Structure 1
Amino acid sequence: MSTQNIDQGWLHDRLGTVVLWALLICTESAGQLFTKVAGDQLGQMDFTWQWLADVARNPAILAAIACYIGAFFVWMLILRRSSLSLAFPLSSLVFVVVLLGSWLGLGEHISLLHWVGVAVIIGGIALLAEGEEN
């Protein structure tokens, strides 16, 4: 029996793809939000040894780094199964989730123009996905 005929499990089917995309969007978005929180906590960047030590010990920075490392490996798995011409535009969903996270989690004001931008991003992704060949 060839290895191509062996059922490779849920990670290699449509559900696995959806799970990978959810992980990518969550880890990338969380990394951005953690970086913002850390930047606010650390304040002025003086680029001294003390500031670098504070950066290295900051829990939000450590969480952001962990998110980016996780996102890198998930991105590699996504690219193994998707064309870059579709995957890269789909990754723009991170912009939408970061905007929502900054609004809901950080209390930032989001203008009407930003919400229109979210609608344009989602509409563009829908058009790209509709045009994708199976």
Structure 2
Amino acid sequence: MTLKDFLLILLNACLLVTGQIFWKTGIQESGLNWVKLLLDVRVWAGFLAFALATLIWFQVLAKVPLSRALPVQSVAYVLGVLAGCLFFHESVSWERWLGVAFIIGGICLVAR
């Protein structure tokens, strides 16, 4: 896997997490009121982030074996934990941080 491939996967993961952040903020504001959700700009920004992530993922899949690309994309889980801490002030236990460390270790092994 080239550095460019890895960076595309990282960009894909960042867009996936960004979409989740937009959706969560929209849901926190609107609740599960479907009409409000469908009119919320953050929900649509989340859809846009996912659409861009999908286009990038197509580029990745055209060049990188799925058995390498998909495990490396799990960096999104790491970014999701960080986003939860930074944007939503979620507390993360040491066990969850240990799990994050295992994910990072697995990414390093697969990306080699």
Identity %: 31
Residue aligning to 1:99: 81
List runs of 5+ in structure 1 lacking aligned partners: 1-13, 46-50
Task: Spell out the pairing of 1:46-65 with structure 2 (5 A cutoff).
Answer: 51-65=33-47
1:88 matches 2:73: no
User: What number of residue pairs does the alignment pair up?
Assistant: 112
Residue 70 (structure 1) aligns with: 52
- Relative contact order (alpha carbons < 8 A, sep ≥ 6): 1 or 2 greater? 2
Matching of residue 25 in structure 1 with residue 13 in structure 2: yes
Post-superposition offset of 1:35: 1.4
**After TM superposition, where is structure 1 displaced by more than 6 Å over at least 4 residues in a row?**
none
TM-score scaled to structure 1, two decimals? 0.76
- 2:26 is matched with 38
TM-score normalised over the length of structure 2: 0.90
From the CA coordinates, give the structure whose radius of gyration is larger: 1
Tell me by how many angstroms 1:126 deviates: 1.1
As a proportion of its length, which structure holds more helix?
2
- Aligned-partner SS, 1:71: helix
Q: Return the offset for 1:16.
A: 3.4
Q: Specify every segment of 5 or more residues in structure 2 that has no aligned partner in the other structure, as ranges.
A: none
Q: Deviations over 1:92-132 (max 9, x none)?
A: 100000110110121111111110010000011111223xx
SS of the residue corresponding to residue 127 of structure 1 reads helix
Secondary structure of the 2:38 match is: helix
Q: Does 1:128 align with 2:106?
A: no
CA RMSD of aligned residues (A): 1.7
Distance 1:128 1:71 in 2: 21
3-state SS of 1:110 partner: coil
